[in-house]
Structure 1
Amino acid sequence: MTNILILGAHGHIATLARKQLLKDSDARLTLFLRNAKRIKDADSKRETVVDGDAANANELADAMKGQDVVYANLAGHNIEAQATAVVTAMHTAGVKRLIWISTLGIYDEVPGAFGKWNHQMLDGGYLETYGAAAHVIESSDLDYTVIRPAWLSNEDSVSYELTGRNDAFKGTEVSRKSIADLVTKIALQPSQHVRESLGVDKPGTEGDKPSFY
């Protein structure tokens, strides 16, 4: 039985991944978040809810004990500090496998007019901090997978393609449900995509910007 720790467990993608993991596997989940009372539907037989701060390496290390996979769906201006705390805590707890959600554009890998638009929308504190956080993860000795979604939609479908770290990004958008599906597949088959950074988009969505802008 796989033990999976979800950091930022109240987030939209994390919630979708959590429900899919419960449905598609017998994995046991630890749900780590600020204000744990926000999760009101935990399955007491398979889920443990932990109230904690993802920038606190000691709290993280306690939650990581006995875990097989850490899935981090974190956000905020201090994302680099959170990344540093996650790496430190994983070393302390002796856990190697990490799935880390980032964003497109951190390597300036988005070409053309969409790349320019993406910079206009995300420069000035977002791309820079998320890029710095990804650098912390990629500079570690962890068995990480960095996931770089295109602009996120709430479309109720799963359709996505992957690009590598050194590939040009393709489409402009992807559903949160698709990212949750990718996270679930990697968490349940953790030998996949080790030490890779994956761009994720919905095929056929190339353009100057996402359809919902």
Structure 2
Amino acid sequence: MKKVLILGASGSIATLIERQLLDNPEIQMTLLARHPERLAADIHQDSRVKVVMADVVKDQAQLVAAMQGQDLIYANLYGANLKQQAQHVIAAMDTANLSRLIWISANGIYNEIPGKYGRWNAEMLGSTLDAYAAGAKVVESSHLDYTIIRPAWFSDKNTVSYELTQKGQAFKGTEVSRQSVATYISSLILDPDQGIKQSIGISEPNTAGAKPSFY
């Protein structure tokens, strides 16, 4: 049985991942959220799911306790204090003697987007992009077996279609479906030897342009 801890478990991508993982009878999940009442009822009521109410910065002891016995951490976190959140997650993983972390970030944290879309993305995200970049830098500076995911702007398409780029490559595309991102992250959770020490961009093929199609 593989045990997975999801931080920020009530988020939209996290919820999709949780539903995909529940299809696998060999997965047990611990869902950590500041507002567990926002978790989908069909997920948190499953017998293979445990719910923990905690804040990764304010509740370090609860975070460490939730990590005990886990095989992998998926961090679906956001906010202006992502650097601090990353520091607390890494410290808790050290205490719990864990090494495998999947960390979601954003496209543009390395100024890796060329042309008009790169400028539009930076303007739209503003200080949020700085927070994502700071969090990712902390993760990359750690000794952990991390994978950083840098998605394009999320669409609500009910399709799975994506292409990947590595750190150092120009980012492709402007958008990607939430289903695509969830499917890719679920694949990493099920086969955690993929993508170690990598920062991976994900977007839908053939979506290049000045901005996402829904803007």
- Look up the match of 2:106: 103
- Deviation sequence 1:33-55 (CA, Å, 0-9, x none): 01223333324420000000021
- Look up the match of 2:116: 113
Tell me the TM-score normalised to structure 2 length.
Answer: 0.96
Q: Which blocks of at least 5 consecutive residues in structure 2 are unaligned? A: none
Is the 2:148–2:200 Cα contact (8 Å) retained in structure 1?
yes
- Look up the match of 2:67: 64
Query: Shift of residue 119 of structure 1?
Result: 1.2
Q: Which residue identity lines up with residue 23 of structure 1 in the other structure?
A: D
Q: Which residue identity lines up with residue 118 of structure 1 in the other structure?
A: N
Query: Shift of residue 25 of structure 1?
Result: 4.5
Question: Which SS does the other structure have where 1:147 is aligned?
Answer: strand
Counterpart-to-counterpart distance in 1, 2:210 and 2:7 = 33
- Look up the match of 1:172: 174
Is the 2:82–2:132 Cα contact (8 Å) retained in structure 1?
yes
- Look up the match of 2:5: 5
- Look up the match of 1:23: 23
Q: Are positions 1:126 and 2:128 aligned together? A: yes
- Look up the match of 1:37: 37
Deviates more, 1:166-175 or 1:40-49: 40-49
Query: Shift of residue 59 of structure 1?
Result: 2.1
Mapping of residues 139-178 of structure 1, within 5 Å: 139-178=141-180
Query: What RMSD, in angstroms, separates the aligned Cα atoms of the two structures?
Result: 1.0
Give percent identity, aligned residues only: 50
Give the number of aligned pairs.
212
Runs (4+) of structure 1 exceeding 6 A deviation are none
Is the 2:10–2:35 Cα contact (8 Å) retained in structure 1?
no
Q: Are positions 1:77 and 2:80 aligned together? A: yes
Q: Which blocks of at least 5 consecutive residues in structure 1 are unaligned? A: none
Is the 2:113–2:172 Cα contact (8 Å) retained in structure 1?
yes
- Look up the match of 1:196: 198
Query: Shift of residue 19 of structure 1?
Result: 0.2
Q: Which residue identity lines up with residue 203 of structure 1 in the other structure?
A: P
